[in-house]
Structure 1
Amino acid sequence: MLLEELCQRYREGERDFRGINLREGDLTNIILPGVDFCRADLRQARLGKIRLARSLLREADLSEAILWGADLSQVDFYRACLRDADLSGANLIEANLEAAYLTKAVLNGVNLNSANLQQALLIDADFRSTSDQRTDLGKTNFCGADLNYANLSGSLLYRANFADCRLCRVNFRASPERDGFITDLTGASFRGADLSYADLRGAVLEDVDLTDADLTGTLF
């Protein structure tokens, strides 16, 4: 389907575009809130600054898609594939990323406040913060997620749930003197999590729950 046809049908009130093929399409700056893109093919699509709030992208394939600065608030990405996708600066507030595949995804400066990442696969995902765009993962549900080798340094992780997560060699470290901010894990739950060889030096650990966590080689 051509982009012009998609936009015209959307303006006419159509919202059901399940299974649509937009591979390598350019939807930069397009406004499509509430659209149904379930099982859509959006591989390598250019979706920078797209507005998709409250949309359905369940089981959609967004491998290598560019989503920087996109409004993805309250979007349902259940079991979606976002491998190698660039979500830098995206708004993912209250998004559902349950069981989503985010291996090697770039999530610099994203806002995942109150998002659900339960059972998500986040191996080698990059959550690095910058001095003017800090990653907010407050109250995020990572329960059972695989975050091995992820970089979460300097992130806001207050009251996040990492229960039963795999966090081997995750970098939570931050230096206020060097970076200008710290990693805030206040009230976070690591109950039953694998924190082996994770780096927590300099992080705020007030009221953290480490019950049954694997702390082999963990740096505090």
Structure 2
Amino acid sequence: MNADELKQRYLAGERDFHEVDLRGADLRKAYLCEANLSRANLHKAKLSGANLSGTNLYQANLMKAELDQTILNDAILSGADLQGANLHRASLIKADLSRANLKGAILKHTFLAGANLRGAQLDRAHLSWANLRQADLNQAHLNKANLSGAKFCRTIMPDGSNKNEDC
């Protein structure tokens, strides 16, 4: 399936696209809210400016995907591979990123308020100026992650403690 076929089928009312192969697909500014893209292969896909609110991306391959300014509010990204993905200025409010691989991901100025990042791999991730208010980072791996300027308020840290800066 290619990007145009996916968009046409979505417009026709189809929502189940689990395990679809869309490597390198151009889905910039696509509207795919509440679609099922679980276990989809979106390696190097271009999703900048897309609206994927409520979309199921469970265990999806989003390695090196372009997700800058993408709306992923309430999306399920549990177990997804986002290694090296660009999520600059993306909105992931209340998204489930538990156990997701975000190693080296760019999350600068990203909205992660209320996001579930329990057990997420965030080693070498760029989280500068990210909004982590009320996010759950319990058991997350932040080795060499850049958190400069990040906003914390009632944030659960990897050790289970609460960080209440910038409240």
Q: Tell me whether the two structures share a fold, i.e. TM-score over 0.5.
A: yes
Given the alignment of the two structures, is residue 75 of structure 1 paired with residue 75 of structure 2, yes or no? no
Q: Give the superposed CA RMSD.
A: 2.0
Alignment of 1:108 onto 2:93: yes
Q: Which runs of 5+ in 2 are unaligned?
A: none
Structure 1 position 172, deviation (Å): 1.6
Give 1:213's aligned residue: none
1:60 counterpart (23, 29, 45)? 45
CA contact (8 A) 1:22 1:45 kept: no
The aligned counterpart of 1:153 is: 133
Task: Compare CA radii of gyration and give the structure with the larger one.
Answer: 1
Higher RCO (C-alpha under 8 Å, 6+ residues apart): 2
1:149-188 paired onto structure 2 within 5 Å: 149-174=129-154, 183-187=155-159
Q: Which runs of 5+ in 1 are unaligned?
A: 1-16, 130-134, 175-182, 189-199, 203-218
**One-letter identity of the residue aligned with 2:21:** D
CA contact (8 A) 1:72 1:92 kept: yes
The whole-number CA distance in structure 2 between the counterparts of 1:99 and 1:124 is 16
Normalising by structure 1, report the TM-score.
Answer: 0.69
> Paired residues, what number?
161
Q: Distance in 1 between matches of 2:78 and 2:146?
A: 23
Q: Is the 8 A contact 2:141 2:158 kept in 1?
A: no
Tell me, in whole angstroms, the C-alpha distance in 1 between the residues paired with 2:131 and 2:3. Answer: 33
Deviation at 1:84? 0.5
Report the residue type matching 1:84 in the other structure: Q
With over 3 angstroms needed to count, the CA separation of the structure-2 counterparts of 1:165 and 1:186, relative to structure 1, is: closer
Supply the AA of the counterpart residue of 2:25: A
**How far apart, CA to CA, are the structure 2 residues paired with 1:37 and 1:21?**
7
**Letter in structure 2 aligned against 1:125:** T
Q: Which runs of 4+ in 1 moved over 6 A?
A: none
* Aligned partners of 1:22 and 1:40 also within 8 Å: no
Percentage of pairs with the same residue: 29
TM-score relative to the length of structure 2: 0.90
Equivalent residue for 1:201? Answer: 164
Q: Does structure 1 retain, via aligned residues, the 8 Å contact 2:81–2:100?
A: yes
Shift of 1:186: 4.2
The SS at the match of 1:22 is helix
Deviates further, 151-160 or 67-76: 151-160
1:33-73 residue CA offsets vs partner (Å, 9 max, x unmatched)? 11100000100100100101111000000010000000000
Deviates more, 1:165-174 or 1:104-113: 165-174
Moved more, 28-37 or 48-57: 28-37
